């Protein structure tokens, strides 16, 4: 689906380039020049080499080369960022040793609406049974995000042992941040501003001041994600009394290292790569990335997050990332198979406010409304309060200055919310307030179920309830209503449900790899916050950004328990033990409308922390497997060798990406019969036996050979083959599962099966 914003950007670029004559495009922007795996040279040598390479496109001038240089990357991969014209960029792309050259693209944080950050809170973060805090203090989680608020009680280092000696990170000084601001909880902090400033300077001659030129968080997002994954116990955490209780992150003794690469308007590739490059060298165990490209995502080696995470994985660092908040089919991002990609679900908690209509009917909506309304007031639709120079349709969305103050004064207004990127829930309540309104009922046409704060008593409802309220308001002379303060309600709705905004599969880049991989709570999550935003220490916000650190916290606990497990092994254990049932034992559903959910919503399902430490079998993959994967999608020996920095050749070519040893199996274009081979590694009882249990996708026959596998020792590997035969055509993807059930034991190792039968090939159409 075309994104309206990006087509506008493309149009502008076209106009600039078509301008001809004096080429405006020569007022170069920043490009990233990616050169594959690192070599053993020192930083000084690498910088010198980069300057030399750069000088060749600057007519041999070392001075100009140095001037255009923005970053050199040398720790976990090689490359640099530099200010270049388009011609210079293309020239560099042709040079030996260069894998790819791409513009310094801006990435977005995966919260739902950054303007609604003016709010609050946290989620259940319950005690995880079966995990001890033992060895957690040796797990270091890097967060590439908006920085951190080190004074938050979530980041107290009380009772924490000394920093692990292997740690090579630093506590970088900056604005309101000294080299002693870090503690034994936050053991590292760095910030990256060059790529951001170079771009924003070019976009506008007068640059907006940067809030906190340091790792200090001015936006709240980074503190929220870090405390969700690894916050300490905080007594009485709440948002104005909502969601009150003792709260903590997933791995509360794990260490935090903050890499601030995201600023007010977003996160630039050049800065992200610098953060990845440092984090891997510093010695993080896990990286948590709650941000991503806009959908559709570009190729793996033209995307900073894919590149950074490829090299992180090859250094044994698991990268957990959010899938995105576009919500539509095929919109998932962070698609590389070496990442663990997380979609968002609800929790069993919601924030409910009642709307009591004059007719006596009561509806319930979502809000974080702490205002008390003591009486019912006149209620009209936004279109009825229309100010002459706007159309009633525009006023129905309560757009800025579209409301007539005479008509709105003292009333509750019913406003529509379409979810466009220029709209903000908080913003609408301010519009109503400015027009003299005393309350707002927001009809959320996107049905996101997000509880957000407002400037006046207000509540959001879905479309169906909204139409009922509008019809009452339209048909009743003197219609009135009252909005009650929000109450925290537990267990009133099926949970978890896949969130409306959570980006979905199939994978738009490599349909053979299912994305997202897993789902975790991301709707209305309470966690630490930056008081510089709104004087709040905790806030409730939503997004796959909030889902990602729930998985990060879980994998930190797993890493503590199994320090030697590879990133892929940890990922496999999370995925194969996940459940596709909700807390009531029914098949997971998805919002809006609680339709039956499928693997494009939740990947392998919702994690089960009680099982992840004992998965029985794992689907492991190492760098060599990802090399074979890259060959299968068209990378040749030369580009492969550059990316990996060794003498790799595409000899182990797997026929298609479906053959990557992935914990889920996807066959996007099944013609006749197709077989997929997988290898499982025994990490359970040395002597164990498993039998295959298949739930085939509709219209597809599935056989597993052998259908019994047995092991005699820990670490033993066994291959099996899954054969798919198209029995009847499917217009779309169909879903099933394969489980290896331990005989006489409790482990069930489950993989989603996702198949699309190529209709023309069956001859039935
Ligand atoms: C911190 O910075 C001060 C002055 O900027 C310096 O004297 C001191 O050595 C630094 N401490 C560490 C641990 O780097
Ligand atoms: C939590 O807050 C409640 C109400 O404000 C208070 O009664 C209680 O003592 C607090 N508990 C702790 C441990 O601070
Ligand atoms: C409602 O009543 C409470 C308590 O009597 C009072 O504190 C509050 O200000 C009143 N709210 C409004 C909107 O008048
Ligand atoms: C607002 O409404 C009042 C009363 O209906 C009307 O007299 C006035 O012209 C309106 N103003 C605008 C700007 O529409
Ligand atoms: C209510 O009236 C407004 C205009 O006055 C109209 O746009 C809307 O469709 C009506 N809604 C219902 C549910 O009748």
Any alpha helices (H) in 128-230, and if so which ranges?
Answer: 194-203, 221-230
Ligand (nearest to CA of 233): 2
Nearest CA to ligand 3 atom 7: 372
**324 close to 515: Cβ distance less than 8 angstroms:** no
- Length of the chain (residues): 765
User: How far, in Å, CA of 569 to CA of 681, rounded?
Assistant: 9
Q: What beta strand segments (E) does 261-329 contain?
A: 262-263, 266-268, 286-289, 291-292, 318-322
**526 close to 237: Cβ distance less than 8 angstroms:** yes
Any alpha helices (H) in 19-130, and if so which ranges?
Answer: 43-56, 62-68, 86-93
Q: Ligand 4: does its nearest atom lie under 6 Å from the Cβ of 407? A: yes
What would the DSSP string read from start to end of 224-268? HHHHHHHPPPEEEEEETTEEEEEE--SSTTSEEEEEE-EETTEEE
Nearest to 72 by CA among 55, 91, 49, 89: 49
**696 close to 736: Cβ distance less than 8 angstroms:** yes
Nearest to 80 by CA among 104, 60, 107: 104
In this predicted structure, the answer to whether residue 120 has a pLDDT above a threshold of 50 is: no
User: How far, in Å, CA of 677 to CA of 723, rounded?
Assistant: 9
Strand, coil or helix: what is 544?
Answer: helix
Q: Which of 374, 377, 482, 484 to mutate to test the pocket of ligand 3 (most atoms within 8 A of CB)?
A: 374
Model confidence at 28, pLDDT cuts 50, 70, 90, reads low
Nearest CA to ligand 4 atom 4: 406
Nearest to 140 by CA among 172, 165, 177, 174: 165
Model confidence at 125, pLDDT cuts 50, 70, 90, reads very low
Any alpha helices (H) in 148-215, and if so which ranges?
Answer: 194-203
In this predicted structure, the answer to whether residue 470 has a pLDDT above a threshold of 80 is: yes
Nearest CA to ligand 2 atom 6: 236
More confident residue, 763 or 514: 514
Of 34-38, 461-465, 482-486, 676-680, the least confident? 34-38
Return the exposure string of 531-550: e unless at least 16 CB atoms fall within 10 Å of the residue's CB, then b. bebeebbbbbbbbbbbbbbb
User: How far, in Å, CA of 32 to CA of 298, rounded?
Assistant: 14
pLDDT > 70 in the chain, percent: 92
Average pLDDT over residues 464-481: 97
Nearest CA to ligand 3 atom 9: 372
Residues with CB under 6 A from ligand 5: 381, 383-384, 392, 467, 470-471, 474
Ligand (nearest to CA of 476): 5
The model's pLDDT over 413-437, given as tens digits with 9 standing for 90+, comes to 999 999 887 788 999 999 999 999 9
Strand, coil or helix: what is 367?
Answer: coil
User: How far, in Å, CA of 628 to CA of 643, rounded?
Assistant: 13
**577 close to 739: Cβ distance less than 8 angstroms:** no
Q: Ligand 4: does its nearest atom lie under 6 Å from the Cβ of 406? A: yes
Q: What angle do CA 311, 88, 99 make, to 5 degrees?
A: 25
Q: Which of 214, 238, 545, 648 is catalytic?
A: 545
User: How far, in Å, CA of 230 to CA of 248, rounded?
Assistant: 7
**117 close to 541: Cβ distance less than 8 angstroms:** yes
Q: Is 708 a catalytic residue?
A: no
Could you give the count of Cα atoms lying within 13 Å of 642 in the half-sphere of its Cβ?
Answer: 18
Nearest to 283 by CA among 161, 214, 188, 177: 188
Strand, coil or helix: what is 311?
Answer: helix
Nearest CA to ligand 2 atom 8: 236
Average pLDDT over residues 129-141: 81
Q: What angle do CA 265, 556, 243 make, to 5 degrees?
A: 65
Going from the Cα of 178 to the center of ligand 1, the distance in angstroms, rounded, reads: 8
pTM assigned to the model: 0.91
The model's pLDDT over 609-635, given as tens digits with 9 standing for 90+, comes to 889 999 999 999 999 999 999 999 998
Model confidence at 234, pLDDT cuts 50, 70, 90, reads confident
In this predicted structure, the answer to whether residue 762 has a pLDDT above a threshold of 50 is: no
Any alpha helices (H) in 634-695, and if so which ranges?
Answer: 637-644
Ligand (nearest to CA of 179): 1
pLDDT at residue 38, rounded to an integer: 81
**What ligand 4 atom has the least distance to the C-alpha of 404?**
1
Q: State how far Cα 328 lies from the chain centre.
A: 15
Model confidence at 706, pLDDT cuts 50, 70, 90, reads very high
Preceding amide of 506 cis, omega within 30: yes
Q: What angle do CA 470, 471, 472 make, to 5 degrees?
A: 90
Q: State how far Cα 290 lies from the chain centre.
A: 4
In this predicted structure, the answer to whether residue 650 has a pLDDT above a threshold of 90 is: no
Average pLDDT, the chain: 89
Name residue 518's beta-bridge partners: 342
Residues with CB under 6 A from ligand 2: 235-236
Q: Which of 379, 383, 464 to mutate to test the pocket of ligand 5 (most atoms within 8 A of CB)?
A: 383
In this predicted structure, the answer to whether residue 240 has a pLDDT above a threshold of 70 is: yes
Ligand (nearest to CA of 392): 5
Token pair of 51 as six digits: 């300057």
pLDDT at residue 130, rounded to an integer: 54
pLDDT at residue 664, rounded to an integer: 98
Going from the Cα of 397 to the center of ligand 2, the distance in angstroms, rounded, reads: 41
In this predicted structure, the answer to whether residue 127 has a pLDDT above a threshold of 70 is: no
> Could you give the dihedral angle defined by the CA atoms of residues 532, 139, 515 and 598, in that order, rounded to the nearest 10 degrees?
-90
Going from the Cα of 213 to the center of ligand 1, the distance in angstroms, rounded, reads: 18
In this predicted structure, the answer to whether residue 213 has a pLDDT above a threshold of 90 is: yes
Q: Ligand 4: does its nearest atom lie under 6 Å from the Cβ of 387? A: yes
Q: Which single residue is written with the structure tokens 């390479």?
A: 53
Average pLDDT over residues 339-367: 95
Average pLDDT over residues 87-113: 87
Model confidence at 2, pLDDT cuts 50, 70, 90, reads very low
Give the C-alpha distances (Å, rounded to integers) separating 376 from 206, 367, 439, 479, 484: 49, 18, 10, 10, 10
Q: Is 100 a catalytic residue?
A: no
Nearest CA to ligand 2 atom 11: 236
- Looking only at the bridges linking them, the beta strands covering 487-490 and 349-357 are antiparallel
The model's pLDDT over 554-601, given as tens digits with 9 standing for 90+, comes to 999 999 999 999 999 999 999 999 999 998 999 999 999 999 999 999
Going from the Cα of 633 to the center of ligand 4, the distance in angstroms, rounded, reads: 63
Q: Which of 407, 411, 435, 436 to mutate to test the pocket of ligand 4 (most atoms within 8 A of CB)?
A: 407
Q: Which of 221, 224, 311, 550 is catalytic?
A: 221
> Could you give the dihedral angle defined by the CA atoms of residues 207, 208, 214 and 215, in that order, rounded to the nearest 10 degrees?
-120
Longest dimension (CA), the chain: 82
pLDDT at residue 264, rounded to an integer: 86
Average pLDDT over residues 444-451: 92
Ligand (nearest to CA of 244): 2
Going from the Cα of 378 to the center of ligand 4, the distance in angstroms, rounded, reads: 18
pLDDT at residue 493, rounded to an integer: 86
Q: Is 221 a catalytic residue?
A: yes
pLDDT at residue 646, rounded to an integer: 80
Neighbours of 670 (CB within 10 A): 23
pLDDT at residue 519, rounded to an integer: 96
Checking phi first, is residue 324 left (phi over 0); if not, alpha (psi -120 to 50) or beta? left
pLDDT at residue 208, rounded to an integer: 63
More confident residue, 709 or 730: 709
Q: Which of 116, 145, 303, 444 is catalytic?
A: 145
Q: Ligand 4: does its nearest atom lie under 6 Å from the Cβ of 388? A: yes
In this predicted structure, the answer to whether residue 129 has a pLDDT above a threshold of 60 is: no
User: How far, in Å, CA of 756 to CA of 671, rounded?
Assistant: 9
Q: What angle do CA 184, 128, 220 make, to 5 degrees?
A: 50
Average pLDDT over residues 265-273: 94
Indicate if the alpha-carbon torsion angle 216, 220, 222, 228 is positive or negative. positive
Preceding amide of 496 cis, omega within 30: yes
Model confidence at 119, pLDDT cuts 50, 70, 90, reads very low
In this predicted structure, the answer to whether residue 26 has a pLDDT above a threshold of 70 is: no
Nearest CA to ligand 5 atom 1: 474
Average pLDDT over residues 363-383: 96
H or E element that contains 363? strand 362-366
**What ligand 3 atom has the least distance to the C-alpha of 457?**
13
Q: Which single residue is written with the structure tokens 């940067």?
A: 210
User: How far, in Å, CA of 473 to CA of 385, rounded?
Assistant: 13
In this predicted structure, the answer to whether residue 13 has a pLDDT above a threshold of 60 is: no
Q: State how far Cα 669 lies from the chain centre.
A: 28
Residues with CB under 6 A from ligand 3: 372-374
User: How far, in Å, CA of 417 to CA of 440, rounded?
Assistant: 12
Nearest to 414 by CA among 374, 445, 373: 445
């Amino acid at each position: 689906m075309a994104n309206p914003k990006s087509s506008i950007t493309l149009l502008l670029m076209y106009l600039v380039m078509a301008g001809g004559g004096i080429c405006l495009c020569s007022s170069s922007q920043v490009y990233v020049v990616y050169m594959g795996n690192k070599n053993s040279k020192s930083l000084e040598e690498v910088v010198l080499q980069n300057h030399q390479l750069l000088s060749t496109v600057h007519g041999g001038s070392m001075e100009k080369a140095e001037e255009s240089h923005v970053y050199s990357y040398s720790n976990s991969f090689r490359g640099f960022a530099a200010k270049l014209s388009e011609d210079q960029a293309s020239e560099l792309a042709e040079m030996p040793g260069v894998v790819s050259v791409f513009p310094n693209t801006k990435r977005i944080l995966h919260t739902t609406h950054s303007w609604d950050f003016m709010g609050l809170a946290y989620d259940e973060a319950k005690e995880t049974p079966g995990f001890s805090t033992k060895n957690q203090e040796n797990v270091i989680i890097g967060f590439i995000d908006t920085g951190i608020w080190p004074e938050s009680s979530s980041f107290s280092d009380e009772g924490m042992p000394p920093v692990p000696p292997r740690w090579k990170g630093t506590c970088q000084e900056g604005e309101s941040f000294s080299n002693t601001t870090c503690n034994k909880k936050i053991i590292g902090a760095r910030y990256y501003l060059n790529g951001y400033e170079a771009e924003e300077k070019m976009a506008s001659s007068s640059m907006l001041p940067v809030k906190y030129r340091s790792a200090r968080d001015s936006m709240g997002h980074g503190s929220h994600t870090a405390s969700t994954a690894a916050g300490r116990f905080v007594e009485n955490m709440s948002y104005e009394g909502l969601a009150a209780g003792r709260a903590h992150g997933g791995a509360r003794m794990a260490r935090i290292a903050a890499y601030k690469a995201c600023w007010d308007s977003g996160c630039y590739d050049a800065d992200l790569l610098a953060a990845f490059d440092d984090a891997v060298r510093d010695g993080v165990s896990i990286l948590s990335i709650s941000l991503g490209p806009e959908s559709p995502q570009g190729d793996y080696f033209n995307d900073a997050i894919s590149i950074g995470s490829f090299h992180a994985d090859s250094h044994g660092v698991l990268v957990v990332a959010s899938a995105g908040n576009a919500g539509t089919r095929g919109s998932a991002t962070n698609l590389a198979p070496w990442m663990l990609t997380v979609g968002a679900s609800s929790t069993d908690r919601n924030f409910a406010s009642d709307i009591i209509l004059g007719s006596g009917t009561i509806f319930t909506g979502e809000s974080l409304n702490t205002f008390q309304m003591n009486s019912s007031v006149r209620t009209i639709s936004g279109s009825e309060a229309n100010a002459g120079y706007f159309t009633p349709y525009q006023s129905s969305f309560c757009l800025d200055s579209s409301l007539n103050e005479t008509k709105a004064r003292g009333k509750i207004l019913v406003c529509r919310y379409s979810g466009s990127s220029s709209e903000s829930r908080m913003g609408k309540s301010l519009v109503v307030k400015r027009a003299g309104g005393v309350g707002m009922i927001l009809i959320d046409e996107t049905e996101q179920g997000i509880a957000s704060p407002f400037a006046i008593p207000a509540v959001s409802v879905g479309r169906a309830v909204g139409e009922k309220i509008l019809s009452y308001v339209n048909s009743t002379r003197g219609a009135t209503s009252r909005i009650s303060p929000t109450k925290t309600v537990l267990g009133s709705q099926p949970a978890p449900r896949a969130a409306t905004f959570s980006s979905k599969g199939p994978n738009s880049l490599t349909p053979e790899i299912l994305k997202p991989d897993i789902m975790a709570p991301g709707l209305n999550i309470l966690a630490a916050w930056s008081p510089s935003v709104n004087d709040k220490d905790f806030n409730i916000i939503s997004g796959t950004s909030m889902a990602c650190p729930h998985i990060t916290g879980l994998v930190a606990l797993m890493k503590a328990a199994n320090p030697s497990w590879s990133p892929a092994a940890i990922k496999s254990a999370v995925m194969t033990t996940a459940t596709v049932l909700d807390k009531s034992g029914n098949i997971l559903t998805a919002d809006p409308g609680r339709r039956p959910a499928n693997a494009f919503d939740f990947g392998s399902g919702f994690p089960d922390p009680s099982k992840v430490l004992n998965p029985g079998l794992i689907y492991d993959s190492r760098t060599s497997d990802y090399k074979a994967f890259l060959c299968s999608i068209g990378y040749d020996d030369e580009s492969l060798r550059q990316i990996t920095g060794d003498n790799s050749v595409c000899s182990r070519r797997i026929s298609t990406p479906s053959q990557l040893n992935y914990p889920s199996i996807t066959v996007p274009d099944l013609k006749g019969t197709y077989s997929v081979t997988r290898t499982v590694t025994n990490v359970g009882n040395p002597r164990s036996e498993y039998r295959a249990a298949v739930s085939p996708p509709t219209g597809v026959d599935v056989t597993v050979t052998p259908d019994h596998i047995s092991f005699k020792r820990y670490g033993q590997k066994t291959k099996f083959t899954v054969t798919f035969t198209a029995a009847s055509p499917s217009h779309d993807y169909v879903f099933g599962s394969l489980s290896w059930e331990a005989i006489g034991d409790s482990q069930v190792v489950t993989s989603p099966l996702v198949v699309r039968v190529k209709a023309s090939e069956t001859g039935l159409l």
